[in-house]
Amino acid sequence: MTGALDPTIAARLKRTPDGLVCAVAQQRGTKEVLMVAWMDDEALHRTLTTRRATYYSRSRRQLWVKGETSGHTQYVHEVRLDCDGDTLLLVVDQVDGACHTGDRTCFDASVLLAGEG
């Protein structure tokens, strides 16, 4: 499936020099931050039209649908653009772990500073 991102949405995005926008996935209800990935215009278009989180892999230089091979899918309920236009927030229902390591989130393994008390 290929298609064009709505021009009014495309005009609001501030992309990196390689044409990407940061995307943060957040669990619906709990607001738990699950992962951070990247999207190009095609990945965002596919996400908006299918409600399946689609990202752009910088290392493989191709699109990937979250959970397509692992089964750890993300059903997208909302997509929000931040005030600067350079970060997307995807509010999702995550099935199983979001991290490629199998952890629930990509932020489970390394706590650099914990809250007091």
Rounded distance between C-alpha atoms, residue 61 and residue 72, angstroms: 21
At residue 115, the pLDDT reads 87
Percent of the chain predicted with pLDDT > 70: 97
Percent of the chain predicted with pLDDT > 90: 87
At residue 16, the pLDDT reads 98
Number of domains in the chain: 1
How many alpha carbons fall within 13 Å on the CB side of residue 13?
25
pTM (whole model) above 0.75 = yes
Structural domain range at position 69: 7-94
Residue 66 lies in a domain: yes
CATH number at residue 68: 3.10.20.810
Output the CA–CA distances (angstroms, integers) from residue 91 to 51, 62, 79, in the order listed.
10, 23, 6
Residue 102 lies in a domain: no
Name the DSSP class of 9: H
